[in-house]
Chain A
Amino acid sequence: MIEGFFENLSLGFSIGLTPVNLLYCLLGVVIGTLVGVLPGIGPTGTISLLLPITFGINPVAAIIMIAGIYYGSQYGGSTTSILVNIPGEAGSVVTCLDGYQMAKEGRAGAALGIAAIGSFVAGTLGIVFLMLLAEPLSNVAIKFGPPEYFSLMVLAMTILSYLGQGPMMKALIMAAVGIALSQVGIEMVTGQPRFTFGIRYLEDGIGLVPLVMGLFGISEVLTNLDESATLEVFTAKIKGLLPNLKELAASAMSVVRGTILGLFLGVLPGGGAVISSFVSYAVEKRFSKHPEKFGKGAIEGVAGPESANNSASSGAFIPLFALGIPSNVIMALLLGALMIHGVMPGPLLIKEHPEIFWGTIASMYIGNVMLVVLNLPLVGLWIKLLKVPYRILFPFVLFFCVIGAYSINNSVFDIFVMIFFGIVGYLLRKFRYEVAPLVMAFILGPMLENSLRQSLLISMGSFTIFLTRPGSAACLIISLVLLLSPIFFRAKHRA
């Protein structure tokens, strides 16, 4: 078994180290760091912007690049948090608390250094975890039938809604809208058009790329224009990028704790970088002998969350590769990209396409090394980029959106679809609806319908099949508990 493991890993490195894949890996981590550093443009918007470009390259290179953007953005996000006190990335929100204070005390170098070291250690351990866990998990998942898959998808969407910001009902509404939107187009079994309103272009369904570009790219620009925030970049010269021995000793256990937390929370649907970084901060404060120092420049408050958000981004790949179920919206976009390339993610992916799984794993090791180089010695370059005003940036974002939407099918209709969802996304953001559950449900919608239909065929039309099979029943019970939990909490609150 161990022999096979190393054989697979060397296959991965033989793929990951080809010049083309190295180039896409570098491109991914550079773009990831860039969008991580720049507030106002996130990895989700960027990946949706670049999806059309990935159609023209082979699936391994495409996944390597997208993965690089994802984990690269977690590295870059910390730079902005520490130096500007604005999170470059949602996963780095808590890094602002102590990172910026450290910078104000003249310890910006140490803060940036520990963020990069923590990210590297956690990112690398995360990949080891992914490598060891994905295959055994996929072996279990092979035994899953349509009812288990249906319930697992319901659970994934429920957890995503439960852990989101704001009321759960709004997130659930978004998920239902996402499923409804995924129904547009010719129905696969009967060949009947659904909700196409006589528009020929809609017969193939709503395109994933124009939908996500609209919801993330266009709407992000429209929202940012409303909120004219100005940035105050920390301009003092940054000295010494390595924390001293005392600081390293203080943060060592925080890195370990953050890594472990991130791994487990990253695997959970809806978990990911944001929640793990918050939980890690709370844990670090709890474990600290000097909790009063938190918020005033405690290095543990940077080391823990920065490790957690990076290991979470590796952990998030596990459900995608092992089960074919994305745990967050970026993984859902990766799933969409794989499907567009004709690769069906699921328990058989590792066996049928070892080059994708092991190639991505190897590229992640390489990418993590690239990121340390990019984020430590080159930090000055990213600080300069922080000074590019948003008014220069946004026309380019919009321009890439329109080219991207057009280039998929050479169709102007796709641009109109993108504009439509841009306006919808803008309004949803204004009224505090999260669009992530919508996109996730949109991608999972067709799979959800298929597994529901197949389950009902197996059971001769009885819904009890979802409750008589233990795996499926467990997922549905957990979903129900989560759905009802706000009611219980409210009752308890009143009592």
Chain B
Amino acid sequence: MSGLRRYDRRGGIFWFLVGVALCYGSVGLRLGTLHRPGAGFMPFVSGVALCLFGLGLVISTSRGRGREEEERGFKLVFQYRKTLVLIAILIAYASLLEYVGFLLTAFLFLFLLFKLSSPGKWAMPVVFALTAALITYIAFAKWLMVQLPKGILEF
């Protein structure tokens, strides 16, 4: 067993376990009766469905013929560094937004993203980030009247 099929088998087991956890959590919410379903009834149904489909996936991977077409183009490529940096920038933006304020975080956020996409350059990221931050600030805060956090700059 190779490539995608191996991942699918592990995926099937993973979803089966998620389904079991969902059923367990639903029982704690009270299932009620068929006549009067409780809060846990529907999550329990979706948990059971998840278990069944997870098992179905495991079974289909052990038999799976005719999936060669799909397997062929499959190659798991992760650009860990770029992806993690991007996620870190997003998390930093969300964490700082209310303290530092929209305008400054928007500039920093865009500057870092442009820097990430064009590492060698300085002028382009600064100009693009500044222009975009100012335009969106005017468009959202002044024109669309969206309440944006002011933060330490207080505007």
B-contacting residues of A (Cβ < 8 Å)?
53, 56, 166-167, 169-170, 172-173, 176-177, 179-180, 183, 187, 189-190, 192, 194-195, 218, 221-222, 225-227, 391-392, 394-396, 398-399, 402-403, 406-407, 410, 412, 415-416, 419, 422-423, 426, 430-433, 445, 448-449, 452-453, 456-457, 460-463, 486, 490, 493-494
Contact = CB atoms under 8 A, between A and B. Distances in A.
Contacts of B103: none
Contacts of B54: 173
A486 B43 CA distance: 27
Given A190-B38, A226-B83, A431-B11, A395 B144 contact: no
Interface of B: 4, 7-8, 11-12, 15, 18-19, 22, 25, 29-30, 33-43, 45-47, 49-50, 53-54, 56-57, 60, 63, 65-67, 70, 74, 76-79, 82-83, 86-87, 90-91, 93-95, 97-98, 106, 109-110, 113-114, 117-118, 128, 132, 136, 140, 144, 146-149
B34 A180 contact: no
20 contacts: A167-B8, A169-B56, A172-B56, A173-B53, A176-B53, A177-B18, A195-B43, A222-B86, A225-B86, A392-B128, A395-B113, A412-B95, A423-B87, A431-B4, A431-B76, A432-B70, A445-B42, A449-B42, A462-B34, A463-B34
A410 B93 contact: no
A122 B23 CA distance: 48
Given A391-B117, A395-B114, A460 B106 contact: no
Contact of B43 (A180, A392, A396): A180
A377 to B, nearest CB: 28
B107 to A, nearest CB: 11
A493 B87 CA distance: 45
A460 B38 CA distance: 14
Nearest to B117: A391
A116 B151 CA distance: 49
Given A179-B42, A412-B97, A431-B7, A218 B90 contact: yes
Interface of B is mostly: helix
Given A179-B46, A456-B34, A195 B25 contact: yes
B35 A460 contact: yes
B78 A419 contact: no
Given A173-B50, A180-B50, A192-B29, A430 B38 contact: no
Contacts of A422: 87, 90
B110 A399 contact: yes
A109 B102 CA distance: 46
Given A225-B82, A398-B113, A403-B136, A190 B34 contact: no
Contacts of A419: 87, 90-91, 94
Contacts of A396: 132
